[in-house]
Structure 1
Amino acid sequence: MSGNDREAAVRRLLEQVPRSVPPEIHAEAVRVGGRVLRRRTLARRALWLLLFAAAVAFTVWALTARPWVEPPSHTTPPLTGW
């Protein structure tokens, strides 16, 4: 069976199937699809808000804690009076 024969067979099968969708199924699919899109949009916005809040919190912590600065040594007293 060559590629053309297979393609012709598939076309015949597709032409046999009725192409109309019952109206109640179409309305239900549109309703459910709209709800899914709204949920995805809300979830995406919530995740972006969470990411922004985490970035702000990290920035504030880094500016106040300054983790890149070495802490002062408390093991030896400072040398004074030389």
Structure 2
Amino acid sequence: MNESTVCEAIAGELSTRGYQLDPEEYRTDLISAGVNSVNLVRVLTALEELFDIEFEAAGFFAEPVTVERLAAEIIEHAARNVTR
């Protein structure tokens, strides 16, 4: 699993809900990019199922939610599970 593949998967989930992001926008806060909170939660739920992870709900939205941030969290989770 690499960052590019994970970013594409996240962008694909966003696309199924009508949000098109170019790779140049992967650092953009998704809420600022027009993704409403309901759809963002749906995307997060789909990503949790796809990558078999669970995002920490407490404080999750304290920082901007970007494609790059989500990808980093998914990859970090995968790396922790490989070393177990």
- The TM-score with structure 2 as length reference comes to 0.26
The structure richer in helix per residue is 1
**Looking at both structures, which has the greater relative contact order when contacts are Cα pairs under 8 Å and sequence separation is at least 6?**
2
Select the structure of larger CA radius of gyration.
1
